[in-house]
Amino acid sequence: MKKYIKYIAIPALAFGFLSCEPEFDESVSEGDFFTNGEADFSNYVAVGNSLTAGFADGALYITGQENSYPNIMAEQFALAGGGEFTQPLVNDNTGGLLLGGIQIAANRFVLATDADGNPGPALLSGTPTTDITNVVSGPFNNVGVPGAKSFHLVTPGYGNVAGVTANPQTANPYFVRFASNPNASVIEDAVAANPTFFSLWIGNNDILSFATSGGAGVDQTGNLDPSTYGGNDITDPNVFASVYSQQVDALVATGAQGALVNLPSVTSIPFFTTVPSQAIPLDATTAATLNAVFNAYNTQVLPGLAQFGVITAAEATARQLSFVEGANFITIQDEDLTDISTIVQGPPFNLDPVTAGLLSQLRQTTSSDLIPLTSAGVLGTVDQDSVAFLISLGVDPEQAALQSINGVTLPLGDQFVLTSDEQALITTAQSQYNATISALASANGLALVDASSALAELANGGVAFNGGVLTSDFVTGGAFSLDGVHPSPRGYALTANVIIEAINDTYGSTIPLVDIGNFATVTISDGVN
């Protein structure tokens, strides 16, 4: 096999839809009259994580903040008695953060073309100018903190700069730059802003970090001590219920009314739906070569392990590797499978340690597996570290390259696949979190916003607007930014509308919706100012 795989079957991105934005009439006409109903929007405070902050394209930048759903909502609230809405704006549209002049967070993504003319996300060049040691003074109406999990909002010292470089990290750099004092908690600052109305959207990161890591974290269900959690772990539902209740109690104690936003399925976002599980294109000759390479594994090793009772017959079947002309499933390492690396080094197989390690937890993806967007730059490429290692063992360079093709002869690691079992853990936690949110909305007479259904609609056909259809397709769908996780301005406008509709239904207000067609999608590389 002389030619190695250098591309994967990801839908091509198009520039045509970016050339211009349709123009629409203003959604609010002169002379229109809107009412606040039973709500008081004079001091609206938004509490949450990156979604609330306006994070997009992998970074926090001014335009993203200006198009955050709370800022969009506040502009609509102003038509019915809403007051000023302040945000802890960063310094530029570059994105990224500095700590004492040293960059600690990456710049934003923009849509650019590579050397071959292929469009895709690329990091914007330049040095950010937002240094977290330059603390800005509040109080602020938007207290969304990118990266925050539910329990972080009630944690004192989450804005202490000393905790940013601690090991483990105990503070959040985004909160450091606008916390009222180093020992304050996010919810304390939100309450201190004296809200008359609030929105609370928190809990996505309690499962999202596990998902985006390919399930590399731990499901902490049963562990009630979040101080022992890793960054990619799933938060125990009872911990979530406890801290979420604290947050709601603190906010309603001010006399404020508000809206609670439930959690959508994190696996419905483009980060997980863009790269197909059957993403490896092969010609007939290459497929035949690969089948020959794995023939002994399929016909001798796996049946033998099943016969000896090391693995079940079902696992032996699931681990069979088969390649065909056309699109093929990806070869992965599944940590839920039996580790056979030490077993096959002994009789009767007597495999060398390198081969045994390669086969340890090997299988191909199925249509139920989800492949994170981060795998796009890895699939089908030759892993040079693997090549160098094999050559050091005396393997011929050509054969070393053949055995080092990511996702084909070299399995993708756990961080590059979210298995159906891992998805089930996420779904279970999400359902329990949402049950808590729903119960607290009902008990406190608050609006319940069904973001879960809204994202499902985006992912299944899309949402029509005056000028097109908004979908969750990566880039071309218009709803998501270039990180595949956070909305675009147009997606945030849709989010604002979904929340406003729930508020109007609950409080009898008549806050107008925005025309989402008036908001942008993604930014091409020369469109940043």
| Interval 350-387: pLDDT, tens | 998 988 998 999 999 999 999 999 999 899 999 999 99
Q: How much is the pLDDT for 117?
A: 82
pLDDT tens digits for range 423-450? 999 999 999 999 999 999 999 999 999 9
DSSP 76-100: HHGGGT---------S-SSEEEEET
Report the Cα 368 to chain-centroid distance in Å: 19
**Distance between CA 8 and CA 275 in Å, rounded?**
8
Residue of higher predicted confidence among 500 and 7: 500
Mean pLDDT to the nearest integer, 318-334: 96
Mean pLDDT to the nearest integer, 488-497: 98
Q: With the CA atoms of 114, 119, 123 and 125 taken in that order, what torsion angle do they form, in degrees rounded to the nearest 10?
A: 60
Q: How much is the pLDDT for 526?
A: 67
Report the Cα 255 to chain-centroid distance in Å: 34
Q: How much is the pLDDT for 273?
A: 96
Contact between residue 44 and residue 74 where contact means Cβ atoms under 8 Å apart: yes
Helix (H, G, I), strand (E, B) or coil at 50: helix
**Distance between CA 429 and CA 416 in Å, rounded?**
21
Q: How much is the pLDDT for 115?
A: 82
Q: How much is the pLDDT for 17?
A: 32
Does the structure show a pLDDT above 60 at 288?
yes
Q: How much is the pLDDT for 525?
A: 76
pLDDT tens digits for range 68-113? 999 999 999 999 999 999 999 999 999 999 999 999 999 999 999 8
Give the predicted TM-score (pTM) of the model: 0.92
Instruction: Name the nearest CA neighbour of 446 among 278, 249, 159.
Output: 249
Percent of the chain with pLDDT over 90: 88
Band of the pLDDT at 33, cuts 50, 70, 90?
confident
Helix (H, G, I), strand (E, B) or coil at 202: coil
Does the structure show a pLDDT above 70 at 494?
yes
Does the structure show a pLDDT above 50 at 272?
yes
Band of the pLDDT at 529, cuts 50, 70, 90?
low
Structural domains of the chain sorted by starting position, each given as residue range(s) with its CATH number in brackets = 34-273+421-518 (3.40.50.1110), 280-416 (no CATH)
Q: How much is the pLDDT for 111?
A: 93
Does the structure show a pLDDT above 60 at 25?
no
45 beta partners: 198
Does the structure show a pLDDT above 50 at 397?
yes
Other Cβ atoms closer than 10 A to 308: 10
Q: How much is the pLDDT for 24?
A: 34
Band of the pLDDT at 56, cuts 50, 70, 90?
very high
Q: Is the dihedral of CA 130, 134, 139, 145 positive or negative?
A: positive
Alpha helices, DSSP H, located in 259-361: 270-273, 284-293, 295-296, 302-307, 313-318, 353-359
